[in-house]
Structure 1
Amino acid sequence: MGAAMTTRLRSAGVDVVLWNRTRARADGVAAATGARVAATAREAA
């Protein structure tokens, strides 16, 4: 899921959980959108 999709979902009030192999990227999107970051892909699913 990309940052643009995350932004749209969050603006619609959807709870979004992110995961990325590079945690810093997920943290950046989460900080900008209010999404949560999962520690593992399984946790995000």
Structure 2
Amino acid sequence: MQITVGHGGLQAVPKTFLILIEGVKISSGWKMARDVAIPGLPPPSAAQ
């Protein structure tokens, strides 16, 4: 998943994250209980 991040006053850039989402089943369906964003590794650069 791409999330746009940036510090205050700086240009925001898209970063790759692995998102873990935990759901809880309730009587009317599903509800999101928690989400954890884990920063992903940068894509490998092309071999020269």
Query: Which of 1 and 2 has greater Rg?
Result: 2
TM-score, normalised with respect to structure 2:
0.20
- The structure with the greater share of residues assigned to strand is 2
* TM-score, scaled to structure 1: 0.21
Higher relative contact order, structure no. (Cα contacts within 8 Å, ≥ 6 residues apart):
1
